[in-house]
Structure 1
């Protein structure tokens, strides 16, 4: 028997507090369909949320999982990362099931969106939590009439993964992939399976990995704490963005502490290199799932 979840408030914004029967928890804002917290059953917070982030209507939030749509970064005429993350979304469904909790939010075109992006669309974000797993699905449908022009969009789930310390982290599963290095402005190939984001020369990371089909694993190893392994999977999204601003750039980010870069690594499911094209009536969906692995789970994410 499902139990309806009633909206509450988080930092003054309307929010859904998802609670699965096994104790897994998450907080999803209607503002931007922005996930700001995910706590797996029996574990701690897995996402990074900047303590300096503004929780104001119409403004983007730094951390959690912003929804980049219908434009990634500055790759188009719209504001950076599009308008979806700063607009109010409508509640479609929020309920606790027998073994999970689920919420679905929807964003449709309106007069304001059509002024900057003249297309009829409907986007939905679905969030499901159960045990050690979080599933995020972004879907989009072209709601235009027959004969209307198709539209293109790029998108990403801009997931900020929380860290105890960047220098203790590695990301496994990238070997052999080609990527666009936005810092150097060139296309490169990943030679090794492990990416060490806190090592010399890689503190400032801004990479778009292409044709990502294998699982990835975020690993944190510190002598004073148990090893943490987070399995990262995606479907429908062809690219994975890996981002960390490093010390110099982080110090210039107004809504992050100067040392905030040490506490996060963005691993984003994205559709960037090849924009998604939809004709009237067509739809698309992309999924990112995160699973906190226990000590008895087999190693995953190897290439």
Structure 2
């Protein structure tokens, strides 16, 4: 199952968008920021709060790869076949889709910043206060290359702040700077893969009565009729080849003008995800039954 907010903008100077993820489910250490290298030699940043919750961010794609609560439970899905090498995007965590979401634009699927090497931003914009103790956080930055300019002929800078609060919430704040001297149009999404117990145990609230575009029906417009989204009958296998289960994607929608709060109830793990957003007006969601994930 997939779940993703989408922002469409015509920008003249600078735009910002923010998402806050909160997981609630039934040791003390110092807050810290640590830089390590993965097996590919790529820098990763480990955030840890005083309660032991952690988040791990790779400079490949500027992507959050892991988010664990203070009990050490992983809250994000990561594919065992994920690749950290261009032109591949990393399948799992929180990929950043820019300058387009999906195939709605003139560049590659979900844009190209998710498979570029970012840097740590040593001069980030002044942060907004998130609490008296201050969260463990990191700022990362991507400036496009000449090759990127050939793909998308606009000059820009994109920044991302990732902050892990003391209560375990994860905040992502993006900032796009237009250095073109002329307006540009783009879309951006935090395409988050949540780890869930079983797709049939999941219920999504906050999208009821909204209009949506159905990508499986040529983007026709419909209105959500249910009081919540459930998925018991939404996915089914089509055939089995060797040991692989191939499934048919039954849901692929963009919900329009969604509220700033959407909740995902995973009854199997007795966990609730709360997604709060600013500057991201629309929500997209879909499902794929052989992957235990939600992404927003």
Q: TM-score category by the smaller chain?
A: 0.7 to 0.9
- Looking at structure 2, the residues matched to 7 and 100 of structure 1 have their Cα atoms a distance apart, in angstroms, of 16
Partner of 2:168: 132
Partner of 1:39: 68
Shift of residue 200, structure 1, vs aligned partner: 3.8
**How many residues were matched structurally?**
244
Shift of residue 74, structure 1, vs aligned partner: 0.9
Is residue 197–residue 205 contact of structure 1 (8 Å, CA) maintained in 2?
no
Deviations 1:231-277 (A, max 9, x none): 1111100111112234xxxxxxxxxxxx3x2x11222xxxxxxxxxx
The correspondence for 1:236, drawn from 279, 285, 288, is 279
Gaps of 5+ in 2: 1-29, 125-131, 237-248
Partner of 2:209: 176
Pairing of 1:153-192 with structure 2 (within 5 A): 153-185=186-218, 186-192=220-226
Shift of residue 201, structure 1, vs aligned partner: 6.0
Deviations 1:58-99 (A, max 9, x none): 4211011000001111111101111100001110159xx945
Deviations 1:162-186 (A, max 9, x none): 1111111110111111111112232
Is residue 33–residue 137 contact of structure 2 (8 Å, CA) maintained in 1?
no
Partner of 2:294: 265
Pairing of 1:41-80 with structure 2 (within 5 A): 41-42=70-71, 44-80=73-109
Gaps of 5+ in 1: 247-258, 268-303
Q: Give the TM-score of the pair, scaled to structure 1.
A: 0.75
- Looking at structure 2, the residues matched to 201 and 4 of structure 1 have their Cα atoms a distance apart, in angstroms, of 42
Q: CA RMSD in A?
A: 2.2
**Residues 1:162 and 1:4: Cα distance change in structure 2 (over 3 Å):** closer
Q: Give the TM-score of the pair, scaled to structure 2.
A: 0.77
Deviations 1:265-301 (A, max 9, x none): 222xxxxxxxxxxxxxxxxxxxxxxxxxxxxxxxxxx
Q: Do structure 1's residue 213 and structure 2's residue 285 form an aligned pair?
A: no
Secondary structure class of the residue paired with 1:167: helix
